[in-house]
Amino acid sequence: MQYVTLNNGLQMPQLGYGVWQVPEDEVTPAVAKALEVGFRSIDTAKVYANEHGVGEALANRNVPREELFITTKVWNSDQGYENTLKAFDASLEKLGLDYVDLYLIHWPTPEYDEYVETYKALEKLYNDGRVKAIGVCNFNIEHLQRLLDECDVVPAVNQVECHPFLQQNELKDFCNKNNIYLEAWSPLMQGGEVLRNDVVKGIAEQYGKTPAQVIIRWHLQSNTIVIPKSVTPSRIEENFDVFDFELSADDMEKMAGLDRGERKGPEPSEMNNR
């Protein structure tokens, strides 16, 4: 495993396991498999409706708690200072944990203009030692800048849609300048189109790896935290098997050439669902 050091000194696995869209009844064996393979970072959220199942897998683990890195998120309908504190308590209870390693705001939902107040609740949780680090998801530069201007704790992580067709270079540059790590959700792109791309397939053949492994490797070498999701045991193993090869500078350049700003998820400034 490779680790990154967040802006408060906390070590976070650079490769994690995401459980978005994994039903509650499937998530426990899936997380158990991920832990068995070697994943130590698990990313869930209230809105995924599977925190309890993740907690069951964690309760039956053979891994010390201090080796795990658990992330969850406050959903849009729970934003606001007091609501966020209550939502955190509920998530912690479902997970069966005393603390989480990373707590994130799921979307800025700018129409409601509550994300600064919500982030201040995250700061309280952080200052009280109930979370090891705090951050955000799906924040554009304007949203991040407002937190930097109005809050005290610089977000450790900004988790956003990121894959070879949406490389987020401008946002990543801003995050780098402000010591915020970019974390990629949907790193293999929803729909799998990027996995069928000729450039990606050609690079994969060259290394004797799969297109998914090449893309995960590209994320790692781009200094991005990455959380691929699968419930298929063989794919969970495949997604972890990315530490025995390295893409050349030429191949990294080829991957960089695939960026076309193609977003599959919502545009953060327009996503105000509750």
Q: How far apart are CA 122 and CA 155, in angstroms?
A: 10
Name the token pair of 268: 């953060």
Is 48 marked active-site?
A: yes
For 97, residues 6+ apart whose C-beta sits below 8 A from its C-beta are 55, 58, 65, 70
Nearest to 194 by CA among 229, 236, 161, 163: 163
- Beta-strand pair 11-13/41-43: unpaired
Dist CA 184 CA 171 (whole Å): 12
Q: Torsion angle, CA of 148/149/152/156, rounded to 10 degrees?
A: 0
Catalytic residue from among 3, 17, 48, 99: 48
E-assigned strand segments in 14-107 = 17-18, 41-43, 69-74, 100-105
Provide the token pair at 43: 């990313």
CA distance 199 to 208: 14
Alpha-carbon distance of 54 to 42, in angstroms, equals 8
Catalytic machinery residues:
48
